[in-house]
Structure 1
Amino acid sequence: MSALWAWILLVGSVTVAVTVVEGGRRLLAGRLSRGRPGVRATAPGCAAPAFVTAVVASANAAMPYRLLDGGMENAVEHVLRIAAIGAVTWLLLRISFAVTDPALNRLTRVEGARNVRARRARTQMMLVRRILAVVVVIVALGTALFTFPQVRALGAGLLASAGVAGLVVGIAARPSIGNLFAGLQIAFSDALRLDDVVVVEGEWGRVEELTLSYVVVKVWDDRRLILPVSYFTESPFENWTRHGSRIIGSVFLHVDWSVPVPELRKVLYAYLQEHPLWDRVDWTLQVTEVLPNGLVQLRALMSAHDSASSFDLRCDVREHLIAYLREHHPESLPSLRADALTP
């Protein structure tokens, strides 16, 4: 009869633990989350690991080990201990991601003058979160391994030769360790951030992903350029959004000397006034060069909120100016002159 009650106690403990977790989940998803979208978003992501942790912890506490055979008792206790380590690790990781995801989503939507600070905070938060996740997983694996007596004995032997072992591991893991420190350096030196516009290896693109080992740059034609993090600490690269996302674009036109520059300047300003991509800060139209082939070079400058808007704005301005010259001043289009010498 005592054995039956022991098993009933085990089932009851697991049931109570699951009920408590379900009650907490309902509170977080309902009454406690009113006006707190971050709390509401946290509950679904942590539900599964919370249930597993509750089941494993209650089973480990109420398991009637004395009713099991000697070998079976040790095996069941060992399995439950490893399962508890894994469940707690899973729960900690899900909590950390669920808590930080709402903040990261808010930072993604920040525009204007605060965009640079938002991208800096988002980059640092993501890298710190990844570092903490790696540390938690390594500690969990070490704790699980040291539940085996053979591993504990091996660990004690390795401590005697820790210097040699550390030297060997350091040499073998030098690239990974270098990338790890490079990632930390980039994150906290503010040299590179998520969504920064960069030019690397002759390619123009935007930083799409920044991890502890590599950086993914989304090139303008949707290709992905994957580079080790150490590349950005050892090689020069262009960062077009280092201090802000605002950028000045240029359009060059090679035209005839007869081009009416003041009139074209008014046309450019009138077009920019109606264009939604111009940020209404900087613009100009200047004659910047007299070319050896008998043409003059015009340079139109206009500012935009970011590099993508600047590219589209430049294309639109170029098309508009060419169309205007072709329609109203065809004599200003590029033409080559030649003198016929008579004998």
Structure 2
Amino acid sequence: MENLVRLATALGGSALAAFALCRAADLLARFADARHPETPLWGLLRRCRTPLFVVVLAALLRWSYALAAPGRGPLEDHAGAVSRVLLLCLIGGGAWLAVRTVAAVVESSYARYAGRSRDPARLRRVRTQVTLIMRVVSVAVGVLAVAAALVTFPSFRTVGTSLLASAGIIGIVAGVAAQSTLGNLFAGFQIAFGDMVRIGDTVVVDGEWGVVEEVTLTFLTVRTWDERRVTLPVSYFTSRPFENWSRGGPELTGTVFLHCDHSTPVPLARAHLGEFLATCGTWDGRAWDLAVTDTSPTGITVRALVTAKDADDLWATRCAVREELVGWLAREHPGALPKVVTAPAADVLAARGRRTED
């Protein structure tokens, strides 16, 4: 009975102490966040309260159990196993706390940088780099935590000595077997720090255009205009050509082609296009034009050129211009619409008539 009381006292006292310490840290972070609203660091650090509680509780339980176990019968019999379990919890909680803390610092730094910068392209580049850095840090901390957990088992320490002797051979075999994965890994670093493609960029891959939604160390996700997700390995962007419409900036220039009759009043169509664009909300006002770019025996090709601040507005502007010009021609100049000739020309009929008379 005395052993159960001591164990309950150790567990309860450790839990209360850990809760009080984490509560105090949370209140301190909240107070600092209220005093310094210009930086989101303290608010982001409040996310660390759960892993901090795990770390503090595991540390206090190891200490309190060590005090309650010696000379206490059943408690002493299981002291080694309990101590190892608590140590594993401490290692896991420490890794969790480290990842949360680094994420808070990185996100706070990015938020302050985003508040000062007015260059959308630079912001997308930094955001992509920050995302990949956080993934690398998470993987590195996870690997270290697993290694530290394995070292706590004596059998793994013995096996580790023999494994080191064959590490060279294992490394060669693993490199050959995982060369595709390693290629994607290095391609991810090349994309992040080579500024080839960034989160938020508008790209065209395999005939599909969309916005880069996620970049990881091994794959990249593109959200298409119809809200589908196209997932591609990052090595695709380092081994094949692709279009990046946001590489130099989000502004774009687009064209609308109309097939018309030779009698089309091009100057009037040009003037009407200018009047329409003045009322078009998606046109950014940078440039526009309308010109005849081609001709054929059956008609002419008219090209309307417009600009917009991004790909979505450009698509909307092109559709609006196409619809307006076709409607204007149908209302005001129906003879300018393309025709399909199904009857012989008048001069051909006249020549046939003369031959018949002769």
TM-score by length of structure 2 reads 0.87
8 Å Cα contact 1:108-1:119 kept in structure 2: no
Residue 311 of structure 2 aligns to which amino acid in structure 1?
A: S
Residue 312 of structure 1 aligns to which amino acid in structure 2?
A: A
Cα distance in 2 for residues equivalent to 1:271 and 1:84: 67
What secondary structure, in the 3-state scheme, does the structure 2 residue paired with 1:280 have? coil
Residue 25 of structure 1 aligns to which amino acid in structure 2?
A: D
Cα distance in 1 for residues equivalent to 2:96 and 2:12: 24
8 Å Cα contact 1:28-1:39 kept in structure 2: no
Q: Which deviates more from structure 2 when the two are superposed, residues 3-12 or residues 317-326?
A: 3-12
8 Å Cα contact 1:255-1:296 kept in structure 2: yes
Residues 105, 273 of structure 1: alpha-carbon distance in 2 compared, 3 angstrom cutoff = farther
Task: Give how far 1:181 is off.
Answer: 0.6
Q: Which deviates more from structure 2 when the two are superposed, residues 98-107 or residues 216-225?
A: 98-107
1:1-343 alignment to 2 at 5 Å?
8=9, 11-34=12-35, 35-36=37-38, 38-39=40-41, 41-63=43-65, 64=67, 65-66=69-70, 67=72, 71-101=77-107, 114-292=119-297, 294-337=298-341, 338-340=344-346, 341-342=348-349, 343=352
Cα distance in 1 for residues equivalent to 2:186 and 2:277: 46
What secondary structure, in the 3-state scheme, does the structure 1 residue paired with 2:90 have? helix
Residue 321 of structure 2 aligns to which amino acid in structure 1?
A: V
What secondary structure, in the 3-state scheme, does the structure 1 residue paired with 2:199 have? coil
8 Å Cα contact 1:33-1:39 kept in structure 2: no
Cα distance in 1 for residues equivalent to 2:271 and 2:87: 78
8 Å Cα contact 1:29-1:43 kept in structure 2: no
Task: Give how far 1:33 is off.
Answer: 3.1
Residue 73 of structure 1 aligns to which amino acid in structure 2?
A: A
What secondary structure, in the 3-state scheme, does the structure 1 residue paired with 2:287 have? strand
Task: Give how far 1:108 is off.
Answer: 8.4
Residue 20 of structure 1 aligns to which amino acid in structure 2?
A: L
Cα distance in 1 for residues equivalent to 2:106 and 2:15: 30
8 Å Cα contact 2:54-2:89 kept in structure 1: no
User: What fraction of aligned residue pairs are identical, expressed as a percent?
Assistant: 39
Residues 248, 261 of structure 1: alpha-carbon distance in 2 compared, 3 angstrom cutoff = same
Cα distance in 2 for residues equivalent to 1:11 and 1:328: 87
8 Å Cα contact 1:197-1:240 kept in structure 2: yes
CA deviation map 1:176-203 (0-9, x unaligned): 2111111000110000111111111121
Structure 1 stretches lacking a partner, 5+ long: none
8 Å Cα contact 2:213-2:222 kept in structure 1: yes
Residue 159 of structure 1 aligns to which amino acid in structure 2?
A: L
What secondary structure, in the 3-state scheme, does the structure 1 residue paired with 2:226 have? coil
Residues 260, 31 of structure 1: alpha-carbon distance in 2 compared, 3 angstrom cutoff = same
8 Å Cα contact 2:40-2:111 kept in structure 1: no
Q: Which deviates more from structure 2 when the two are superposed, residues 30-39 or residues 56-65?
A: 30-39
Task: Count residues with an aligned counterpart.
Answer: 341
Q: Which deviates more from structure 2 when the two are superposed, residues 18-27 or residues 177-186?
A: 18-27
Residues 189, 114 of structure 1: alpha-carbon distance in 2 compared, 3 angstrom cutoff = same
**Structure 1 segments (4+ residues) deviating >6 Å:** 2-7, 105-111
Computed over aligned residues only, the root mean square deviation of the Cα atoms, in angstroms, reads 2.6
8 Å Cα contact 1:284-1:300 kept in structure 2: yes
Cα distance in 2 for residues equivalent to 1:77 and 1:277: 66
8 Å Cα contact 2:290-2:305 kept in structure 1: yes
Cα distance in 2 for residues equivalent to 1:107 and 1:206: 23
What secondary structure, in the 3-state scheme, does the structure 1 residue paired with 2:78 have? helix
Task: Give how far 1:206 is off.
Answer: 1.5
Task: Give how far 1:70 is off.
Answer: 5.0
Cα distance in 1 for residues equivalent to 2:115 and 2:7: 55
What secondary structure, in the 3-state scheme, does the structure 1 residue paired with 2:119 have? helix
Instruction: Specify the structure having the higher radius of gyration (Cα).
Output: 2
